[in-house]
């Protein structure tokens, strides 16, 4: 006889300010969270987000933002709602977009660093204008390089730990998703609005049928692509 599953669904752990708090104790309050979206897809740009909430907002975080989390843990509607709330409550924010052409020219790692740098420059300009330049960047992952003169800390799985990085991840993800939906109308044969350029079975099937479009990354050559299915020029 089958036994009913009585286990409760796993509840997503709420983020805390444990990453930011040690820096606040050092008197560092002008902190920007940084993350990216789109390193892995076969098509489209890589996009970065940068977000700063002032200390008062962090200390009394709006209830409407308390489900903030890693963008990958949220559904489309949650991300869209939080995107608007982030823009409403953030003291400063920025995005950086690096095109498919630049990805192929630079390589994806350098293109990602460039997108993050652009996003930080965008967010920092607004803070500098208010005479509170960034003191620290909290960057998702274990690697970051920039020519910007700011101290930074990399945080592995930071988008699941830091609200600032999580906000940046949502900013990057929603911005990129919207770009891919627009791209779908230009290249309707690939269903970009659905898979957003990632190597899903559907995307690979459509690539086999139609070959690459101008937005497919020529420098991305998975083994599945090198079986005579189609050729990148």
The string over 81-106, giving b where at least 16 C-beta atoms fall within 10 Å of a residue's C-beta and e elsewhere, is ebbebbeebbbbbbbbbbebebbbee
Question: CATH code at 41?
Answer: 3.30.420.10
Specify if 56 maps to a domain.
Answer: yes
Specify if 213 maps to a domain.
Answer: no
pLDDT mean over 180-193: 97
92-103: per-residue pLDDT in tens?
A: 999 999 999 999
Per the prediction, the chain carries an average pLDDT of 90
Specify if 201 maps to a domain.
Answer: no
108-117: per-residue pLDDT in tens?
A: 999 999 999 9
Specify if 124 maps to a domain.
Answer: yes
Which residues, other chains included, contact 85 with Cβ-Cβ below 8 Å and sequence gap of 6+?
62, 64, 65
Q: Which of 91, 95, 92, 143 is nearest to 117 (CA)?
A: 95
CB of 82 within 8 A of CB of 90? no
Specify if 217 maps to a domain.
Answer: no
């Amino acid at each position: 006889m089958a036994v009913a599953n009585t286990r409760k669904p796993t509840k997503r752990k709420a983020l805390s300010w444990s990453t930011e708090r040690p820096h606040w104790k050092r008197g560092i309050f002008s902190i920007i969270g940084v993350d990216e979206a789109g390193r892995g897809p076969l098509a489209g740009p890589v996009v970065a987000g940068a977000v700063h909430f002032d200390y008062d907002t962090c200390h009394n975080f709006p209830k409407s933002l308390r489900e903030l989390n890693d963008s990958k843990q949220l559904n489309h509607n949650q991300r869209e709602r939080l995107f608007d709330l982030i823009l409403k409550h953030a003291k400063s924010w920025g995005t950086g977009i690096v095109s498919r052409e630049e990805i192929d020219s630079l390589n994806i790692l350098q293109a990602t660093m460039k997108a993050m740098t652009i996003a930080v420059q965008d967010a920092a300009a607004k803070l500098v204008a208010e005479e509170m330049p960034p003191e620290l960047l909290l960057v998702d992952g274990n690697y970051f390089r920039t020519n910007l003169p700011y101290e930074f800390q990399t945080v592995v799985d930071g988008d699941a730990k830091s609200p600032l990085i999580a906000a940046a991840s949502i900013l990057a993800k929603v911005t990129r998703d919207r770009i891919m939906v627009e791209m779908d109308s230009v290249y309707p044969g690939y269903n970009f609005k659905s898979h957003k350029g990632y190597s899903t079975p559907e995307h690979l099937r459509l690539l086999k049928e139609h070959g690459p479009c101008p937005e497919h990354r020529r420098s991305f050559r998975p083994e599945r692509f090198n079986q005579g299915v189609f050729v990148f020029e």
